[in-house]
Amino acid sequence: MPITPTEHIWMNGEMVPWEQATTHVLTHTLHYGTGVFEGIRAYETSDGPGVFRLTEHMERLHASAKIMMMDLPYSVEELVEATKEVVADSGLPSCYIRPIAYFGYGEMGLNTLPCSVDVSIACWPWGAYLGDDAVTKGVRMKTSSWKRHDHNAMPPSAKTTGNYVNSSLAKVEALKAGYDEAIMLNQAGLVSECTGENIFVGRRGRLTTPPVSAGALEGITQSTVTAIAEDHGIEVVVGDLARSDVYVADEMFVCGTAAEVSAVNSVDDRELPCPGEMTSLIAADYAKCVRGELPKYKDWVELVS
């Protein structure tokens, strides 16, 4: 999806004009995929833009960095403040926010320990990730021939740039075959997640979502959706799913910061009822939640000013 520039990008503590927010071609992470990043959304509220679960996203950035043995030069609190500064500076009522931390220029070779660490935060307007009518018409999914990488190869619970080689291979394969998104199975053949979303499968009034141990990212939207579902008395199980469990689901949706809650209308050409009852209920509440319209979760919206 194309990027619409804003005025500035925060780079290592400075607000840099958009076009000047560049890096050297010998930047370490460009060669080895060792960066860590986040995807966050700010939504329009009656009190100005509010960033949804911003602190938790920055905590996950720190967790990803810890896995990579990368010393982030900014605390969670500093990154939260920097993000608010970027969103306020953009003047946008709502936007997508992309923080990234990467090993910088000056060292080459696989040892990351001597490398400098650079951090930047950009934001821009970004629409529905899986298409405007993903919530109502749903998306067509295909099980990928590419497996989610193993915890002992590339830990999927770290949001590293390199992990997304796996996701990009699967995404392009699915699109080329005429589908919207791919389901990734792990090395054991169980469902893990999509290329950029967590999965929820509904059957007999209950929702199941695969665990981190199955190769899923610990999704912040997954956690939000779980809270919303439980408020409606829907049981949510964090558990393994076989490929065939998905085919016989009563309904299915995928969720993530970029994709929000998107219904699924078929998997490997097996049609699913779409949008399902639980999906519609949860998608509607999610849209309210991120805008601070559910009193119980108002604190999840971190206002920019």
99 part of the interface to ligand PPE, by CB under 6 A: no
Are residues 75 and 140 in contact, defined by beta-carbon separation less than 8 angstroms?
A: no
193 part of the interface to ligand PPE, by CB under 6 A: yes
101 part of the interface to ligand PPE, by CB under 6 A: no
Examine the residue annotation and report whether 159 is marked as an active-site residue of this protein: yes
For residue 93, the minimal CB distance to ligand PPE (Å) is 19
Q: Interface mask (CB under 6 A) for ligand PPE, residues 149-188, using x and -?
A: ------------------x---------------------
With CB atoms as reference, the residue minimizing the distance to ligand PPE is: 39
By C-alpha distance, which of 145, 199, 147, 198 is closest to 174?
145
Q: Please, which of residues 33-92 interact with ligand PPE by CB under 6 A?
A: 39
Q: Please, which of residues 232-261 interact with ligand PPE by CB under 6 A?
A: 256-259
Q: Interface mask (CB under 6 A) for ligand PPE, residues 15-44, using x and -?
A: ------------------------x-----
Q: How far apart, in whole angstroms, are the C-alpha atoms of residue 213 and residue 151?
A: 8
**Part in contact with ligand PPE (CB under 6 A); list of ranges 65-73, 105-113, 202-210, 212-220:** 212-220
118 part of the interface to ligand PPE, by CB under 6 A: no
Q: Choose, from 159, 171, 288, 298, the residue flagged as catalytic.
A: 159
CA 130 to chain centre: 13
DSSP letter assigned to residue 2: P
By C-alpha distance, which of 164, 62, 53 is closest to 119?
62
Q: Judged by CB, which is closer to ligand PPE: 115, or 198?
A: 198
Q: How far apart, in whole angstroms, are the C-alpha atoms of residue 207 and residue 60?
A: 25
- Which positions ≥6 away from 153 have C-beta within 8 Å? none
CA 288 to chain centre: 19
- Which positions ≥6 away from 202 have C-beta within 8 Å? 208, 249, 250, 251, 252, 253, 276, 278, 279
Burial of 192-226, coded b for 16+ CB within 10 Å and e otherwise, reads: bbbbbbbbbbbeeeebbbbebebbbbebbbbebbb
219 part of the interface to ligand PPE, by CB under 6 A: yes
196 part of the interface to ligand PPE, by CB under 6 A: yes
Interface contacts to ligand PPE, rule CB under 6 A: 39, 167, 193, 196-198, 217, 219-222, 256-259
**Residues classed as catalytic:** 159
